[in-house]
Chain A
């Protein structure tokens, strides 16, 4: 047994322990979804048979399909619009540099320092004046132009080979055509990574939808989850089922696009 072997073994052990700790809460969520509430609070670690009952209780309280659809609609529409607007801007700032626009860009970055709590009430008043409260659009609109995403796309555009652009110009393509038919296809994995990040954020967003959405018919899964958790007598079985349902879509999106995600991440820190 050489020192090198011990080193490698301990690396494996460390990695597996960390992986286990990372995954464990998910396992516990799965186990708990099959148990009754009072078993969960005692920390029962074996599978039970209350899964169906828990789901039925959940479905009796909320129209699960509709809640899911609301979350999906906000997340997908929001993500697509965010990617489009932010990548256009990131591309524009990087490809057509000018001192004036650089000032604007710095302004955008500075605006990210402001905590959301500061903006909440002015934003609410603003959307009220647009007569948009209690609509999904009001949830989506303020998130479309994401300063972080503009920054992300600008960083990634730095890795976009100028030769491709020049060649396209020689071929007589207009600038918007270059963006659409050259840049977009080449930057596929950058978009995939961005989509994952934005999708997760919008799917999981909580505070803003909470303030804007009043109608039960418009509620998203995170709002439902929060109201389940704050009942005087929370039913943890139901909560765990709802937690699983809130987590599945983000997991699915992540697994479907994992490879592009890692590649896309490569670009943004160059």
Chain B
């Protein structure tokens, strides 16, 4: 990890102990030539010539190049390329350079660059996860370009606009939604005696009852959870309109009934034995594709991964997210999702704003296209009137799943993610092993409160 030392532990203070001078042998015997697997210059030149990567559209005469940073080549990057192609079709003077890196890499690079105050190496447009929006906007207040007045935000889901608003100014261009739903295997549930109607608008307690029966009859677990990931707890908490912080950004842990209930549900899920523990994302998705679990409750962006297992076509259905037994709980929530932001220091920021506005805020046809090709549900409410949204999906037995998701999208409770969602996650995750061992939730909430209070200074 170090710049200076060559990949091994550096070594101070060795000078202080006089190493025994062993016999010096400076005799060199055989000649040795060095061999390198070095590409020839011709090869290198050829590679350089090939370096276009197909990322840039045909170069125009007075090309203005808009640079975009994003992650996930199968989703965000692919969608961005589609959007860029649509824009350059109408604006031949625009070219796009879309840089793909992992989410962690991007966040780290963005934070380093913003902190250094160097704007030169920043892109014009960057993808930011919704949980991070307030953090960036408040930590680096002059770095992002406000777009209120230039973009009509009335057409987007309200929760999404709220999270990118600071002091009355709106900064980002809302992109995809993490609206949640429950995907389940109709065939396995039918075996256990449950119809599709039985799965509509249930509570988590009912879900556990159903899961226990499914396991008894089919031997399959009901769902996969990474025991150290608090994603599901976040989903449950937001479905009741609460978060780690209240509307004013004050800590909301100890007296937060939604968080308490969510943690209790997660504890019960593990205790009931209907959970298959998974280690990482690949296993989480793998449990679904391999047919190890009968359901998965998460953001709509999982649709593509569920459908990737062609052999399960027709076996799946979707239902609303189960709800908590607390006042104000609804059958809709959100997990993840992200939006596009324009950087104030970008060279082509005017064009970047225009591009986002033209494609992501107005082009409903574009939203149909990315829904079909990538399963991306946008947050522009008018796009649901398009044809793709009302299409029946044979994979889900001919149900209009996209319409259902966009119905739920309108019901997602708006919460204040604040600046410290990651710190909140870390504090909750630290207590998860104890939760799974059955420690009372009230004790855990005290610890979470203490850790967070120490961190949000």
Bitwise interface map of B from 184 to 223 toward A, beta carbon under 8 Å scored 1, else 0? 0000000000000000000000000000000000000000
The answer to whether residues A256 and B38 also contact, given A41-B282, A109-B15, A200-B7 and a CB cut-off of 8 A, is no
Interface-facing stretch out of A13-21, A44-52, A144-152: A144-152
Q: Which of A198-257 contact B (CB under 8 A)?
A: 198, 200-202, 204-208, 210-211, 214-217, 223, 226-227, 229-234, 236, 248-249, 252-253, 256-257
B24 touches A214 (CB 8 A): no
Decide if B102 touches A69 in the complex (CB within 8 Å): no
Contact call A211/B109, Cβ cutoff below 8 A: yes
Known A-B contacts A123-B3, A249-B37, A259-B32; A214 and B286 likewise in contact (beta carbons under 8 Å): no
Q: Which of B110-154 contact A (CB under 8 A)?
A: 112-113, 115-118, 120-121, 123
Minimal Cβ-Cβ distance residue in A for B28 = A188
Q: Chain B residue with minimal CB distance to A234?
A: B282
The answer to whether B1 and A207 have CB atoms under 8 Å apart is yes
Q: Confirm or deny: B103 has a beta carbon within 8 angstroms of a beta carbon on chain A.
A: yes
- Residue from A69, A124, A145, A214 within 8 A of B4 (CB atoms): A145
Interface residues in chain A, defined as those with a beta carbon under 8 Å from any beta carbon in chain B: 38, 41, 61-63, 65-66, 68-69, 72, 76, 82, 105-106, 109-113, 115-117, 119-121, 123-125, 128, 131, 133-134, 142-143, 145-149, 151, 155, 158-161, 164, 185-189, 192, 197-198, 200-202, 204-208, 210-211, 214-217, 223, 226-227, 229-234, 236, 248-249, 252-253, 256-257, 259-260, 266, 269-270
> Across the interface, do A147 and B121 meet the contact criterion of CB distance under 8 Å?
no
B100 touches A125 (CB 8 A): no
**A160 with B118: CB separation less than 8 A:** no
B451 at the interface (CB under 8 A from A): no
Q: Report if B105 contacts A (CB, 8 A).
A: yes
Which residue of A41, A148, A231 is within 8 Å of B11 (Cβ)?
A: A148
Check A230 against B53 for contact (C-beta < 8 Å).
Answer: no
Q: Hey, which chain A residues are within 8 Å of B105, CB to CB? A: 210, 223, 226-227, 230
In the complex, are the beta carbons of A133 and B120 less than 8 A apart?
Answer: yes
B22 touching A202 by the CB < 8 A rule?
A: no
Which listed residue (B13, B118, B285) contacts A125, Cβ 8 A?
B118
Q: Is the CB of B36 within 8 A of A147?
A: no
A124 touches B112 (CB 8 A): yes
Q: A201-B7, A217-B51, A266-B25 are in contact. List 13 more A-B contacts (CB 8 A).
A: A65-B50, A66-B47, A69-B39, A76-B38, A105-B15, A124-B116, A128-B116, A133-B121, A159-B24, A204-B7, A205-B7, A232-B305, A233-B281
Using known A-B contacts A142-B3, A201-B8, A231-B102, determine if residue A65 contacts B43 with beta carbons closer than 8 Å: yes
Instruction: Tell me how many residues of B have a C-beta within 8 Å of chain A.
Output: 71
For the complex of A and B, list the 4 residue pairs with the smallest distance between their C-beta atoms, beginning with the closest.
A230-B102, A201-B7, A112-B10, A201-B6
- Complex interface: chain B residues within 8 A of A69 (CB): 39, 43-44, 47
Stretch in contact with the other chain, from B68-76, B244-252, B323-331, B387-395:
B68-76
The residue in chain B whose Cβ has the minimal distance to the Cβ of A122 is B116
A43 to chain B, nearest CB (A): 12
Contacts of A160 in B (CB 8 A): 24, 26
Tell me the smallest distance from the CB of B298 to a CB of chain A, in Å. 12
Pick from A158, A197, A206, A215: contact of B21, CB below 8 A: A158
Q: B456 an interface residue at 8 Å Cβ cutoff?
A: no
Can you sample 17 A-B contacts with CB below 8 Å? A38-B290, A63-B50, A63-B53, A68-B39, A116-B1, A133-B120, A145-B4, A146-B4, A147-B4, A158-B21, A202-B6, A216-B100, A217-B48, A226-B105, A229-B102, A230-B105, A233-B282
Interface residues of B in 318-346 (CB under 8 A from A): none
Rounded to whole angstroms, the CA-CA distance of A49 and B75 in the bound complex is 28
Residues in chain B near residue A145, CB distance under 8 A:
4
Contact assessment for A72 and B39 in the assembled complex, using a CB-CB cutoff below 8 Å: yes
Which among B15, B112, B116 has the greatest number of chain A C-beta atoms within 10 A?
B116
Closest Cβ neighbor of A110 among chain B residues: B12
Query: How far, in angstroms, from A69 to B48 measured CA to CA in the complex?
Result: 9
B75 touches A155 (CB 8 A): no
Residues of A close to B289: CB separation below 8 A? 38
A interface footprint on B42-63 (CB within 8 Å = 1, 0 otherwise): 0110111011010100000000
- B75 near A142 with CB under 8 A, answer no
Whole-angstrom CA separation of A148 from B20 in the bound complex: 20
> Considering only CB atoms, which chain A residue lies closest to B10 in the complex?
A112
Q: Report the nearest B residue to A66, measured CB to CB.
A: B47
Among A106, A161, A202, A216, the residue within 8 A (CB) of B26 is A161
Q: Kindly list chain A residues whose C-beta atoms are within 8 Å of the C-beta of B19.
A: 155, 269-270
**Which A residues are in CB contact (< 8 Å) with B282?**
41, 233-234, 236
Q: Which residues of B contact A214 (CB under 8 A)?
A: 99, 109, 121, 123
B397, chain A: closest CB distance, angstroms: 24
Given contacts A61-B73, A109-B12, contact A148 B37 (CB under 8 A): no
Query: In whole angstroms, how far apart are the Cα atoms of A112 and B10 in the complex?
Result: 6
